[in-house]
Amino acid sequence: MNGAFSPGLTEHIIAACDRENPADKVLREHLKGRRDLLPSDARAISQTVFDYFRWRGWLDSTMPLNRQIRKARELAASFAADPKSFSDASLVERVAPDWLREEMEITPTWARAIQGEPKLWLRAKPGQGGMLCEKLDIAAERRTPIRRVSDYRHQRAESEFGAPVVDAICYEGEEDLFRRPEFHAGEFEIQDIASQAVGWLCAPRPGETWWDACAGEGGKTLHLSALMENRGLIWASDRAEWRLKNLKRRAARAQVFNFRAAPWDGGSKLPTKTKFDGLLVDAPCSGVGTWQRNPHARWTTTLPDVKELAAVQKRLLANVAGSVKPGGKLIYAVCTLTRAETTEVAADFSAKFAAEFAPLILPEICRAFTSAATLTIWPQDLGGNGMFIAGWRRKKV
């Protein structure tokens, strides 16, 4: 490690993190383009910053910051070496702010899951997971056993779990995958396994018309297109036009052409009068399901945020409901686990739109889940983010 990696730099980055400046943003601003930092130094700094926020609940805030950082690194190392050395009670008590107990049960299993290091998931093009594993020198068993929900022409390999293996791959190396020629050729995307599960649960068919209403930078748009074999049409909208510009760049690299991007602020004035076979509302949320990957957010997210976002989510669903064709599907997804943003939103929509929509039984994607109209994926289930998904089908008149 060279001299550029110093406690002072790490302390400066941590001190700069706040509600308006999340840790990942501050790290990018401080580390990007620094020629005096080796890649290993940058990784070590990032790891230390995330360790600090992951173990903040165990730290004495009256201690000097450098001592808190050192303590956080010691705790992270101890947990990695022997997770059982931390009691269930300690984890449940300290892993998250107190307000969260009003919104979800903090279990020892969940607490242990979010204290571990997050996994990096790749999504290969349909049918190319095995080939990509060979190119990246990844053992085939790191592909996750998820049952396909559409009948594809390519061969479907069987795992030891008895379910076909999809093209979701866990990468445990240290190489910068954004530099790989396979990435630039559009052969894979970096996408969390829970986000990939949303695409499988949407189960779009080639030739259909879909709307990814809160598309962001297009991760799920690209997945829907892959599942549709680049056929049919996907509308992708977001309130931030810079995100849509990034979506277009990603789509060009991935050779995705069956989409149309349009800005939408989430209001009642829709970007199109099109009626859709399927509509995905991947709504803005508190992100509690991402707290393993983004531990800083544990200490900046508040209960009022959750309540405000729940109201936004209900409005989004109400505004787009009329765009679903009779017989079409409406899918709601959020990477959070709070009751206000998950089951309560789903129950609210079901009650208000009972005359128009019936619960949609989501396809079974793996043996860990039972087919139902709502599904909660916990970080400990698939080794990724937490995610809530609900589905409805518009009644045929």
Q: Would you please indicate which residues are annotated as catalytic (active-site) residues?
A: 335
- Give whole-number Cα distances, 88 to 59, 83, 97, 112, in Å: 18, 10, 16, 8
Rounded-to-integer distance, Cα 255 and Cα 234, Å = 14
Distances (CA, A) of 177 to 61, 109, 182, 223, 397: 37, 31, 9, 19, 50
**81: Cα within 13 Å, side-chain hemisphere:** 7
- Angle, CA 347 vertex, CA 277 and CA 396 arms, to 5°: 35
357-359 vs 276-282, strand pairing mode: unpaired
Q: Strand 276-282 vs strand 324-334: parallel, antiparallel, or unpaired? A: parallel
H/E stretch holding 325 reads: strand 324-334
Q: Quick one: which H or E segment has residue 234? A: strand 233-238
Runs of H (alpha helix) within the chain: 7-16, 23-31, 39-54, 65-81, 88-94, 108-115, 129-136, 181-184, 193-202, 219-227, 241-254, 303-320, 343-352, 379-382
Q: How far is CA 52 from the centre of its chain?
A: 22
| Cα–Cα distance, 254 to 262 (Å, whole number) | 19
Locate tokens 């860990």: which residue? Answer: 368
> 262 forms bridges with which residues in the sheet?
237
Residue-by-residue DSSP string for 127-148: T-HHHHHHHHT--GGGEEE---
**DSSP label at 252?**
H
Q: What is the SS3 assignment for 10?
A: helix
- CB atoms under 10 Å from CB of 338, counted, come to 27
DSSP 365-379: -STTS---SEEEE-H
